[in-house]
Structure 1
Amino acid sequence: MTNEIAHDLSPFLRLYKDGRVERLKGTDVVPPSLDPKTGVESKDVVISAETGLSVRLYIPKTAINAPKKLPLLVYFHGGGFCIETAASPTYHNYLNPLVGQANIVAVSVDYRRAPEHPVPVAYDYSWEALKWVSSHVQGQGSSEWLNSHADLENVFFSGDSAGANIANNMAIRVGLSEEKIGIKLRGIILVHPYFWGKELVGEEAHGPEVKAMIDNFWLLACPSSTGGSDDPFINPEKDPNLGRLGCERVLVCIAEKDIFKERGRHYVELVEKSGWGGTVELMEAKGEDHVFHLFNHNCENAIAMLNKIVSFIFFQQKNI
């Protein structure tokens, strides 16, 4: 074992020359539980014993004996493709109130992380999780919660940062794929999406050190990328399939002080010009930074964003 550092991306992680990864954030985990504040119950399910792919399921306890099925949210956690998990307290404590307030079922995907599993592994594992969700369409899947309580004609994808990036790419894959999945994707909710590119967009401005760090973070996650930060996975402007989003509506949430703000705004413009036939909305949180809502659940802007997400899902329910 060597202590020679190959890539130092503090305060997030370090990669050593012997291949060892030291994660400096996002390593804490909490078990699934019945949350007393929200009445939301959760449990972990291993989808594939071979690969270790798993998900954490969430359901309002009041829904267990209810006759009506609930909308399903598939959530992809953030962390630059490299840190955090579905069991992180950051995401567990975010999804409990979201599921409780929206009265939905949620599947939080524990995809494999870079650099041990470089992109596109995160996308491929996320797709496998979606196929597992789809296996419940006829009520014959392995999870009784999804069989009995999830309305697979009323599905949403969401995520923050890298998770929002995954949600976008999964929605495109739904629209493109000949490998049809049986769920009906109604909308995607992209919170502070992790998009990037070699050229500045909008009013974007940042120093060379910041740009180099984000460029390097992406190359660590996706070393096989030939386009670097203009790879279609990370730069929607370079994706010829952006107009094939397999849903009807998109909500993009940005934060005023977030370095990725202009990328989120630019994404909305790109989608509107792509020929896609749906509608896209933009919500900006003034005075806030990247993923602020995960660490300050009860601030005014976090509550407003939660209410917007819930109303976005309820709008879909009313218009089916």
Structure 2
Amino acid sequence: MMIVFKHSTMMPFFSFTHYKSFWRSSIAFAFAFAFFLTFLLIANSLTLQTQSTTIPCNKDPYKELNLIPNPNGTVTRPNKPPQSPPAPDPNLNTLVLSKDLSINQSKSTWARVYLPRVALDHSSKLPLLVFFHGGGFIFLSAASTIFHDFCFNMANDVVAVVASIEYRLAPEHRLPAAYEDAVEALQWIKTNRDDWLTNYVDYSNVFLMGSSAGGNIAYNAGLHAAAVDENQIPKIQGLILVQPFFSGTRRTGSELRLENEPHLALCANDALWELSLPVGVDRDHEYCNPTAGNGPARMGMIKRRGWWVLVTGCGGDPLVDRQVQLVRLMQRKGVRVVGHFTPGDYHGVQDRDPLKARELYGW
């Protein structure tokens, strides 16, 4: 039986009347919801029907993903999704200003920083959301219109600075390249002297956030960041994992039930991991399956840092069982985790549907 929280809208994890109450409202939400989550997880224990045998793929996953594999291990991406430029000019009639800042020119990594216009008229500083976009580690960019719009709206509605990170893509740069880029971005944020960051960001109030593959990056980057000197990065308060992208060699009930779900079919999911993971490892590598190998032990670093973790998912996502498993394991490890799972919808719904995005962060 799949776990769902039967709410039409998500409780406002991000919502706050004034930005200084951002973290206080987060804690209040988490305490109120944690016992409810625990009760439901126990009372509605997942039926994780698993099998180790491989389901034959009757379709060409590369064709389904619109990828052309090349002999040298790279891929050709024939269709480039729409992109949006930044808008840094304060004279523009826009609610949120945005600009691109280089992180590491040798790796072509950069950040698109979103600044709510209202911040220009206030001296107090804002929380920072460090956002990692989705795309199966293979596709899309911080400049992709789908994520530009998401970050623009979130910065405006939440009244927070958002730094959307451009990381290297697989298979040209297999994992852990994206995690390394994410940690380097955090170190860059701490030391960068750009006026938008130094004038408007509260470096003691930082959250790592990502959707789909970006949720995986936020999680693994958090683990990497927890292992470095605290003085090298901003003070992280929590991780926000939106439909995080995880898998494993054994099929879960939701993967079997939604094998042909058009937004993330099982064959396509397998192909994305084959292209992203280090050569020679399977889907039970801890990058892919946080419940396998040394993954559970590494969660102790999150507990020691005292971070809150929010994990969201929905019933129409083939990965929902993985996400619930992650919440349950974090609970057993003593991590302060909050889960929010809704019926219906599909993988990546909040990236495509502005109303669903607004339900995510409140208004």
Instruction: Tell me, yes or no, whether TM beats 0.5.
Output: yes
SS at match of 1:122: helix
Determine the C-alpha separation between the residues in 2 that align with 1:275 and 1:59. Answer: 35
* 1:22 to partner: Cα distance: 2.2
* 1:274 to partner: Cα distance: 1.7
Using a 3 Å threshold, how does the CA distance of structure 1 residues 284 and 22 change in structure 2: closer, same or farther? same
CA contact (8 A) 1:15 1:21 kept: yes
Using a 3 Å threshold, how does the CA distance of structure 1 residues 203 and 21 change in structure 2: closer, same or farther? closer
CA contact (8 A) 1:154 1:184 kept: yes
Residues 107-151 of structure 1: CA deviation (Å, up to 9, x unaligned):
10000001111111111111111110111xxxxx33110101000
SS at match of 1:8: helix
How do 1:144-155 residues align onto structure 2 when only pairs under 5 Å count? 144-155=195-206
Is 1:305 the equivalent of 2:354?
A: no
Unaligned ranges ≥5, structure 1: 1-5, 136-140, 311-320
Unaligned ranges ≥5, structure 2: 1-59
Is 1:283 the equivalent of 2:340?
A: yes
Using a 3 Å threshold, how does the CA distance of structure 1 residues 286 and 58 change in structure 2: closer, same or farther? same
Correspondence for 1:21 among 61, 75, 79:
75
Q: Which residue of 1 aligns with 2:288?
A: 234
CA contact (8 A) 2:255 2:266 kept: no
TM-score (norm 1): 0.84
Looking at secondary structure, tell me which structure has more helix per residue. Answer: 2
Q: Which residue of 2 aligns with 1:127?
A: 183
* 1:50 to partner: Cα distance: 2.4
Using a 3 Å threshold, how does the CA distance of structure 1 residues 282 and 121 change in structure 2: closer, same or farther? same
Is 1:188 the equivalent of 2:239?
A: yes
Determine the C-alpha separation between the residues in 1 that align with 2:306 and 2:115. Answer: 23
Aligned AA (1:97): N
Determine the C-alpha separation between the residues in 2 that align with 1:302 and 1:125. Answer: 26
Aligned AA (1:205): L
Q: Which residue of 1 aligns with 2:271?
A: 216
Q: Which residue of 2 aligns with 1:107?
A: 163
Q: Which residue of 1 aligns with 2:151?
A: 95
Determine the C-alpha separation between the residues in 2 that align with 1:247 and 1:12. Answer: 42
Aligned length: 293
Determine the C-alpha separation between the residues in 1 that align with 2:73 and 2:280. Answer: 19
* 1:25 to partner: Cα distance: 5.5
* 1:55 to partner: Cα distance: 0.6
Determine the C-alpha separation between the residues in 2 that align with 1:254 and 1:16. Answer: 34
Q: Which residue of 2 aligns with 1:142?
A: 193
**Considering only aligned residues, what root-mean-square deviation do their CA atoms show, in Å?**
2.4
Aligned AA (1:164): G
Looking at secondary structure, tell me which structure has more strand per residue. Answer: 1
Using a 3 Å threshold, how does the CA distance of structure 1 residues 182 and 17 change in structure 2: closer, same or farther? closer
SS at match of 2:153: helix
Using a 3 Å threshold, how does the CA distance of structure 1 residues 247 and 108 change in structure 2: closer, same or farther? farther
CA contact (8 A) 2:129 2:206 kept: yes
* Identity of matched residues, %: 32
* 1:172 to partner: Cα distance: 1.3
Using a 3 Å threshold, how does the CA distance of structure 1 residues 269 and 202 change in structure 2: closer, same or farther? farther
Determine the C-alpha separation between the residues in 2 that align with 1:53 and 1:120. Answer: 15
* 1:61 to partner: Cα distance: 1.0
Is 1:243 the equivalent of 2:297?
A: no
SS at match of 2:106: coil
CA contact (8 A) 1:225 1:231 kept: no
* 1:82 to partner: Cα distance: 0.5
* 1:26 to partner: Cα distance: 5.4
Is 1:273 the equivalent of 2:328?
A: no
Q: Which residue of 2 aligns with 1:315?
A: none
